[in-house]
Chains A and B, each alone.
Chain A
Amino acid sequence: MSATDSISIRLEATTLLEKEVSSRDLDISLVTSLVKGDKRAFKGLYEEYAGLFFTIARRYTDSNEEAEDMVQESFVQIYKKAHTFSFNGSFEGWMKRVVVNMCLTSLKKKRIKADVGSEQLADDINVSQSAWFVESMDAEDIIKAFSLLPTGPRVVLNLHVMDGYNHKEISKILGITESASRSQLTKARASLKQILLEKDLLES
């Protein structure tokens, strides 16, 4: 490694560290404002993240109305529980977990556990270039396709693919076995591809 490379890497690391520190400072400032009950800061937070949280909620729920409820409930919880944020990780990540947990709690009330494995899903189909479909489609259409999936597989797909949970964690969250989680994921992918394909064909 040349001296130039070494300096470049160090500069990059310093920049990343500075970014991290800066982000952490922002988090501290934001959380402090929320804890103090600063409504302006809260509104700023809403304007920044409402759309993102709405996307997350729509991925999990059956309808936009339900997703709105989740977003509303999540923001209320974020405002009320901001003092419990431990600065272990980013505040954004913490807020996303609040939204996901809110959706999961709501779905659990609807007996999601019983739903898992009970749906008749399409067998896995070999749709090559499926990634291309996704890349070429509008995000709104993909979210709508999510809502067409049955609840159980949709939740597994969301948890694993979108929110980074592994199968062990999913099995604990949903009270199912790890193999069931894997199986649901496979079927969920297949169904989503099928839905996206049909949609694409229809549109074309």
Chain B
Amino acid sequence: MSEFEDKRFDDALREKLSQHRSPMPGNLWDEISDRVDADGASDQVRWQRLGWTGVIFLLIATGVALEFNKSISPVQVFFPTQEQIQHVRQQIESTADPQSSDERVTVEGAFIVSEETIPALSKSPVQSSAISRTGTSLQGASIKEEIAAPSQASLAMSEDATLAAIVEEEDIIMSDEASNLQSVFATEKNVKQEPMEPIENVRVDGTMIVVEQGASGTIGELHEVDEPVDIMISVVSTESVSSGQELETSSGGPIEEGTAIDTSSYGGMSEAGQQAVEQLLVSSLSKKWSLDILLGPSVNYRTFTSESSPELQSHRNDHDRMLLSTSYAVMFRRTVSDRMGISTGLFWLNTGERYEYTVNSATHAFTNHYNYLSVPLEVDYLLWSKGDFDLNAGAGVQYNFLKEGSSSWVDLGSLQPVTHSNKGPESPFSEQAWALNAELGIRYAFNDRLDILLQERGTFFQESLYKEETGLDQRPYSFNTMLGIGIKF
């Protein structure tokens, strides 16, 4: 047949069909309209989801910004003069009778710290004697020492005697290891009288120092100071003072029986103690960054649905299995408060699944893998802390970039294997997908510079790794057990 004849034939076809309008089935518009409305609704859901993600991001960013810009008030130290210290010592020595076993000297004090001071102290050598006994959740704790002999009483007043902690009646607890944080606190009384109720709690409410006594937590004292208190070591005894004793407050007047002592008069720290605390504060505040390097095994699987092929969905779900892989991460963590940290970095997340199917006596086994380079943004919170161990829980979002992806299965029509890869222009895989993550981790402070980390981490994809037009919705999830180190700087 000639080309001319072909051309005439082609032209005739075009002329006949190019503008031909086939009669349409009546209900097609309704179906299209419903589809468009449904897609619009799903778009709305997607936008809502995106909006909520934005709100969460905004809240996190606001919180972080507030934390960064929060002014840390300088440590307020009530500083007793040497004269006051000497005076108290003399009083104790002069009133105690070493020959009398009945005479006991009770030293009581209040150790009041603000929340901002606690992290600093928790890093200090006195942590075990002070914070662990007072609990980091308190703003203050009471100190009460009952010392059986004047010699011990004077020892308590020596420069080596340091912060003590809550003392049960009749117990003496002193902290020898806390020698670098010296304190001076004292009053004395002859305990021939009824012993006072133990102080249960001392808390600071603005400029008010509230001393609660006894199991009922009755307010035993209320002191007002000029400025908000950060650290104060003070006498809070309200016991009657034995007649004949003349303790002076800083305002000069003798203490009469039953008179509450002006706490600010006898509270404070030595100069060396103040320097030690300041140094610890500076040291603590300067190490807010940590470079965490983590590595560990991952257990990976996915959800899989196929709108276009329920058979494939059922087949894949029957023949896919979990895959074990290795993932690793390099994260920068910034402490934003004593309990909260924020981190970001790079996370090499290797997910996938195992596929195995036997047909016509031939077994087709494939390892489908999707290797992502992810950028997470996480916030973690200190749940529990004891000694050098911290238990943190965290959550966040991460954006995942597909580096390499390959999946294979047996086509149910031809019974031949089909393979998809992210290489080439016809890749069925989405290049990006976002995920949510959650973690629970233990951080052990090996020393001032180094943490050892153990982390259990879950990643849950919120978008399919396949492009929308494939009709396949596969969302990986993985659980990583990661071990690593954190270098603080």
Q: A139-B16, A162-B13 are in contact. Are A128 and B5 (CB under 8 A)?
A: yes
| B19 & A50 in contact (Cβ 8 Å cutoff) | no
| B20 & A55 in contact (Cβ 8 Å cutoff) | yes
Residues from chain B with Cβ under 8 Å of A162 in the complex: 13-14, 17-18
Q: Does B6 contact A (CB under 8 A)?
A: yes
Q: Does B12 contact A (CB under 8 A)?
A: yes
| A76 & B9 in contact (Cβ 8 Å cutoff) | no
Q: Which of B1-46 contact A (CB under 8 A)?
A: 1, 5-6, 8-25, 28-29, 31-33, 35-36, 39-40
| A79 & B12 in contact (Cβ 8 Å cutoff) | no
Q: Does A80 contact B (CB under 8 A)?
A: yes
| B22 & A58 in contact (Cβ 8 Å cutoff) | yes
| B28 & A71 in contact (Cβ 8 Å cutoff) | yes
Partner of A79 from the list B6, B10, B25, B36 (CB cut-off 8 Å) is B36
Partner of A55 from the list B22, B31, B32 (CB cut-off 8 Å) is B22
Residues from chain A with Cβ under 8 Å of B194 in the complex: none
Partner of B13 from the list A58, A105, A134 (CB cut-off 8 Å) is A134
Against B, the Cβ 8 Å flags (1 = close, 0 = not) of A30-47 are 000000010100110010
| B9 & A189 in contact (Cβ 8 Å cutoff) | yes
Q: Does B469 contact A (CB under 8 A)?
A: yes
Q: Does B253 contact A (CB under 8 A)?
A: no
| B12 & A76 in contact (Cβ 8 Å cutoff) | no
| B28 & A68 in contact (Cβ 8 Å cutoff) | yes
Q: Which of A133-180 contact B (CB under 8 A)?
A: 134-135, 137, 139-140, 142-143, 161-162
Residues from chain B with Cβ under 8 Å of A46 in the complex: 29, 32
Partner of A142 from the list B5, B10, B16, B33 (CB cut-off 8 Å) is B16
Q: Does B414 contact A (CB under 8 A)?
A: yes
Partner of B6 from the list A42, A52, A59, A189 (CB cut-off 8 Å) is A189
| A51 & B23 in contact (Cβ 8 Å cutoff) | yes
Partner of A76 from the list B13, B16, B19, B36 (CB cut-off 8 Å) is B36
Partner of B17 from the list A55, A68, A71, A124 (CB cut-off 8 Å) is A55
Name the residue in B18, B22, B413 with the highest tally of chain A Cβ atoms < 10 Å from its Cβ.
Answer: B22
Q: Does A91 contact B (CB under 8 A)?
A: no
| B12 & A80 in contact (Cβ 8 Å cutoff) | no
| B31 & A72 in contact (Cβ 8 Å cutoff) | yes
Residues from chain A with Cβ under 8 Å of B29 in the complex: 43, 46, 50
Interface size class of B (residues with CB under 8 A): 20 to 34
Partner of A54 from the list B18, B22, B39, B40 (CB cut-off 8 Å) is B22
Query: From B23, which residue of chain A is reached at the shortest CB distance?
Result: A51
Name the residue in B19, B20, B39 with the highest tally of chain A Cβ atoms < 10 Å from its Cβ.
Answer: B20
Taken together as a complex, chains A and B put the C-alpha atoms of A55 and B39 apart, in Å, by: 26
Q: Does A131 contact B (CB under 8 A)?
A: yes
Partner of B5 from the list A68, A111, A130, A161 (CB cut-off 8 Å) is A130
Query: From B24, which residue of chain A is reached at the shortest CB distance?
Result: A50
CB proximity of B15 to chain A, nearest CB, Å: 8
Describe B's contact surface by its main secondary structure. Answer: helix
CB proximity of B313 to chain A, nearest CB, Å: 15
Residues from chain A with Cβ under 8 Å of B9 in the complex: 130-131, 134, 189, 193
| B12 & A134 in contact (Cβ 8 Å cutoff) | yes
Partner of A51 from the list B11, B13, B24 (CB cut-off 8 Å) is B24
CB proximity of A36 to chain B, nearest CB, Å: 12
Taken together as a complex, chains A and B put the C-alpha atoms of A162 and B21 apart, in Å, by: 15
Taken together as a complex, chains A and B put the C-alpha atoms of A47 and B33 apart, in Å, by: 13
CB proximity of B175 to chain A, nearest CB, Å: 71
Against A, the Cβ 8 Å flags (1 = close, 0 = not) of B116-154 are 000000000000000000000000000000000000000
Residues from chain A with Cβ under 8 Å of B24 in the complex: 50-51, 54, 71
Residues from chain B with Cβ under 8 Å of A124 in the complex: 1
Query: From B6, which residue of chain A is reached at the shortest CB distance?
Result: A189
CB proximity of A29 to chain B, nearest CB, Å: 19
Taken together as a complex, chains A and B put the C-alpha atoms of A139 and B18 apart, in Å, by: 10
CB proximity of A8 to chain B, nearest CB, Å: 27
Partner of B8 from the list A68, A79, A131 (CB cut-off 8 Å) is A131
Residues from chain A with Cβ under 8 Å of B28 in the complex: 50, 68, 71-72
Residues from chain A with Cβ under 8 Å of B14 in the complex: 161-162
CB proximity of A165 to chain B, nearest CB, Å: 13
Against A, the Cβ 8 Å flags (1 = close, 0 = not) of B333-371 are 000000000000000000000000000000000000000
Residues from chain B with Cβ under 8 Å of A161 in the complex: 10, 13-14
Q: A135-B16, A161-B14 are in contact. Are A52 and B32 (CB under 8 A)?
A: no
Partner of A68 from the list B1, B6, B25, B36 (CB cut-off 8 Å) is B25
CB proximity of A41 to chain B, nearest CB, Å: 12
Query: From A54, which residue of chain B is reached at the shortest CB distance?
Result: B22
Query: From B411, which residue of chain A is reached at the shortest CB distance?
Result: A111
Residues from chain B with Cβ under 8 Å of A76 in the complex: 32, 35-36, 39
Residues from chain B with Cβ under 8 Å of A111 in the complex: 413-414
Q: A111-B413, A162-B17 are in contact. Are A131 and B22 (CB under 8 A)?
A: no
Partner of B22 from the list A51, A105, A130, A189 (CB cut-off 8 Å) is A51
Against A, the Cβ 8 Å flags (1 = close, 0 = not) of B196-208 are 0000000000000
Name the residue in A37, A51, A80, A139 with the highest tally of chain B Cβ atoms < 10 Å from its Cβ.
Answer: A139
Taken together as a complex, chains A and B put the C-alpha atoms of A111 and B413 apart, in Å, by: 10
A-B pairs with beta carbons under 8 Å apart, 29 shown: A37-B40, A43-B29, A46-B29, A50-B28, A51-B20, A51-B22, A52-B19, A52-B20, A54-B22, A55-B17, A55-B21, A68-B28, A72-B31, A76-B32, A76-B36, A109-B308, A111-B413, A111-B414, A126-B1, A128-B1, A128-B5, A130-B5, A130-B8, A131-B8, A131-B9, A140-B22, A143-B17, A162-B17, A189-B10
> 20 more A-B contacts (CB under 8 A) besides A50-B24, A111-B414?
A50-B29, A51-B24, A52-B20, A58-B22, A76-B36, A128-B1, A130-B5, A131-B5, A131-B8, A131-B12, A134-B9, A134-B12, A134-B16, A137-B16, A139-B16, A142-B16, A161-B10, A162-B13, A162-B14, A189-B10
B→A interface (CB under 8 Å): 1, 5-6, 8-25, 28-29, 31-33, 35-36, 39-40, 308, 413-414, 469
A→B interface (CB under 8 Å): 37, 39, 42-43, 46, 50-52, 54-55, 58-59, 68, 71-72, 75-76, 79-80, 105, 109, 111, 124, 126-128, 130-132, 134-135, 137, 139-140, 142-143, 161-162, 189, 193
Top 3 A-B pairs, shortest CB-CB distance: A51-B21, A134-B12, A131-B8
